[in-house]
């Protein structure tokens, strides 16, 4: 029996190719969707990071202006700031580092090498994020600044689109090889 040929007939030999094209297009749409979602999550985490640091600045301001007891200060530093996951450096108004967290410099290290490493890290942080000023109470007098970097989770999220592209390239290679 002879098969009909015409404008709308589909050859059985072309079906696997059609499936390949549809699969690649579906994978590309999926990867693009994941890319935009990952980008959205990254931006939201950055905003959250900024809000948390603004709260830290208010806590520092509270500790500097009110007669807060040692127990309250201990809670602020040990329970809140010490448990943060993003790198931050607290400097005075002249830019001298006073405290730091999640930086590759030992806390309290005041050697010239450590100061240079902290100064370099502050420049890197300030290039990507504006430092948050710590005000004394309700006045406009600045006590110091919190310089901060991105959370390690945000940095890891940046690798997700690259991984997605590698997976898409692998799928294309499997379908056409």
Interval 47-97: pLDDT, tens: 888 888 778 777 777 766 655 555 665 666 666 666 777 888 888 889 889
Please report whether residue 35 resides in a domain: yes
Interval 119-148: pLDDT, tens: 999 999 999 888 888 877 667 788 888 888
Q: Which residue has the tokens 């005075």?
A: 92
Q: Is the pLDDT of residue 45 over 80?
A: yes
Q: Is the pLDDT of residue 176 over 60?
A: yes
Q: How far apart are CA 31 and CA 141, in angstroms?
A: 49
Domain that holds residue 58: 14-176
Please report whether residue 7 resides in a domain: no
Q: Is the pLDDT of residue 163 over 70?
A: yes
Q: State percent of the chain over pLDDT 70.
A: 76
Mean pLDDT of 11-34: 76
Please report whether residue 28 resides in a domain: yes
Please report whether residue 38 resides in a domain: yes
Residues whose CB is less than 8 angstroms from the CB of residue 16 and which lie 6 or more positions away in sequence, other chains included: none
Please report whether residue 23 resides in a domain: yes
Mean pLDDT of 149-176: 80
Cα–Cα distances in angstroms (integers) from residue 153 to residues 18, 27, 53, 123, 144, in the given order? 40, 25, 16, 21, 27
pTM: 0.65
**Number of domains within the chain:** 1
Please report whether residue 3 resides in a domain: no
Mean pLDDT of the chain: 79
Longest C-alpha distance within the chain, in Å? 97
Please report whether residue 6 resides in a domain: no
Please report whether residue 163 resides in a domain: yes
| pLDDT, position 120 | 95
Residue 174 or 9, more confident: 174
């Amino acid at each position: 029996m002879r098969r009909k040929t015409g404008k709308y007939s589909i050859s059985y030999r072309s079906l696997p190719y059609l499936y390949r094209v549809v699969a690649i297009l579906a994978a590309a749409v999926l990867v693009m969707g994941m890319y935009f979602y990952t980008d959205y999550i990254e931006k939201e985490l950055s905003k959250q990071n900024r809000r948390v640091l603004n709260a830290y600045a208010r806590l520092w301001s509270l500790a500097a202006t009110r007669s807060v007891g040692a127990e309250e200060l201990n809670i602020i530093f040990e329970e809140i700031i010490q448990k943060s996951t993003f790198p931050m450096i607290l400097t005075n108004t002249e830019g001298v580092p006073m405290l730091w967290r999640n930086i590759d410099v030992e806390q309290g290290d005041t050697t010239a090498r450590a100061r240079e490493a902290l100064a370099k890290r502050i420049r890197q942080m300030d290039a990507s994020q504006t430092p948050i000023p710590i005000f004394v109470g309700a006045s406009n007098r600045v006590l110091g600044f919190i310089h901060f970097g991105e959370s390690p989770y945000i940095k890891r999220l940046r690798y997700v689109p690259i991984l997605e592209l590698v997976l898409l390239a692998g799928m294309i290679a499997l379908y056409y090889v």
